[in-house]
Structure 1
Amino acid sequence: MSTGGAGTERMPMVVLETERLVLRAFTEADVDGVLEAASAPSTQEWVPMPAPGVPYTRDEAEKWCTVTAPALRASGDGQQWAACDAATGRFVGAIGLLRTLWKARTTEVGYWFSPWARGRGMATEAVLAVSRWAIADQGFERVELKAATGNRASRRVAEKTGFTFEGIERNAMPLHGGRTDLAVYSLIPSDLV
C-alpha cells in the first residue's frame, strides 16, 4: 500500500487477473458498457446510481469512468476496477473497495455486473480476487460486503466467497423505491486459511 501526499493513504494501482476476468482501471472506452450495465432495471433495483430517484445517463457513465472512479482511489476511499472478459476484453461489470478506514484496516467490497454476465460466477470470481488481494496483499484486517436483504444473488456471492453473515442493518440503504435493510457479511484474515 502506498501513501499519497499530505498523509493520505491510497491503494496501489494494480491489475488483477482471474481465470476469466481482467480487473483494471476504468477508461473512456468503458462508457458504453457502464451505461448499459448501470442503467439496466435489474441493476437499478438494488444499486440506485447515481442517486435514489435519479436516472442513470450517458453523462453519469462518462463521469464514473473518467472522474468518479479515479477520484475514489486518489481520495484514499478505496479502489475501483472495470471487470472485463479476459478472452474478449468486453466490459462485464464494476467491482471496488470503498469506505476504507485506514487506521482500522477495514474496507468494503461493492460490485455490479451487466445483466448478460450474471449467473455465470463472474461476480463471485471478482469478489474473491479483490477481497483476498485486500487482506493477503494489502494487510487489511476486515473486508465487509453488504447486500440488500432481498438481493439473493448478491447474498449468494457473499456466501460462495467465504464471507460470514453477521446480521442485518435495518433501514440502512436508500433505493429508488424506498429504503432497504442490508445483510452484513465479513471476511477476515483467519477466513483465508
Structure 2
Amino acid sequence: MEIRTERLVMTQLKVCDRDLYYGLHSDPEIIALCFDEPSSDELDAKFESCLPAWNRESGHWLCLTISILETNEKVGITGFKIKNSVAEVGYLLLPSFHGVGFGTESLKALLNWARMNCGITEFSAVVTEGNIGSERVLEKCGFTLQKIIPNAYQIGDRVYADHWYGICNT
C-alpha cells in the first residue's frame, strides 16, 4: 500500500519505523496537547498493534508513515480506525515539520484514498482543546466542529475539553 501526493509518500508502518513512532509519542512538544506520555509497555503495545497488514475489516488502526517524496525523510504518521462505518482519523508530525502543509496534504490524500479504496464516506476526529494547528488541518480538509465536550480529557494535571470534528460525503 502506498499513497502519494505532490510532496509526500505514505506507507504502512513497519518495524524499522519504531524510532519515528516512539519519538512522536514521547516528544514533549507533540504530546503537550495530545496525550500523556505512554509507558514503555503501553507504547510497545500500541506500536505492535499497528504492524499487522491492514484491510477494511481490520480492528486496528491503519498507521502510515509520512515521508518526503524527494528525500524519503520521515516526518510523521497518519491513519484511521474504522468503527461502525466511520473512520476516526489521526496524525502526528515532527515539530520541525509543523506549519509547512504536510498535515493537510497527507490527510487530504488519506481521505481520498479511503473513499476510493474502502468506500468510506464518514470520518471523525477528536482534538484536545487548544490544539489549534490540528483543528486548522481538519478544517482545511473539510471537517466541521460537531460538538465540544467540556472536561473530557486530562493531560498531566490539567483537564481539557474534547473538540469532535466530522465530515460526511455521501
What TM-score, normalized by structure 2, do the two folds share? 0.85
Counterparts of 2:127 and 2:150, CA distance in 1: 12
Corresponding position of 1:187: 167
Matched, 1:78 2:61: yes
Q: Percent identity?
A: 26
1:61 deviates by 6.3
Letter in 2 for 1:45: A
Q: Show CA shifts across 1:78-118 (max 9, x none).
A: 311011111111111011102x22xx321100111101111
Q: Which runs of 5+ in 2 are unaligned?
A: none
Q: Which runs of 5+ in 1 are unaligned?
A: 1-13
Counterparts of 2:152 and 2:129, CA distance in 1: 11
Q: Show CA shifts across 1:62-86 (max 9, x none).
A: 6655x12125947423311011111
Corresponding position of 1:120: 100
Corresponding position of 1:91: 74
What TM-score, normalized by structure 1, do the two folds share? 0.76
Counterparts of 2:157 and 2:138, CA distance in 1: 24
C-alpha contact 1:20 1:87 (8 A) present in aligned 2: yes
Corresponding position of 1:150: 130
- Kindly tell me: are residues 87 and 40 of structure 1, through their superposed partners in 2, closer, same or farther at Cα, counting changes over 3 Å? same
Corresponding position of 1:8: none
1:37 deviates by 2.9
Aligned Cα root-mean-square deviation (Å) = 2.4
Corresponding position of 1:68: 49
1:185 deviates by 1.3
Q: How does 1:30-109 map to 2 (within 5 A)?
A: 30-48=17-35, 52=36, 54=38, 64-65=46-47, 67-71=48-52, 73=54, 75-98=58-81, 100-101=82-83, 104-109=84-89
- Kindly tell me: are residues 170 and 62 of structure 1, through their superposed partners in 2, closer, same or farther at Cα, counting changes over 3 Å? same
Letter in 1 for 2:68: D
Corresponding position of 2:152: 172
- Kindly tell me: are residues 62 and 21 of structure 1, through their superposed partners in 2, closer, same or farther at Cα, counting changes over 3 Å? farther
**Could you list the runs of 4 or more consecutive aligned residues of structure 1 that deviate by over 6 angstroms after TM superposition?**
59-62
Letter in 2 for 1:41: P
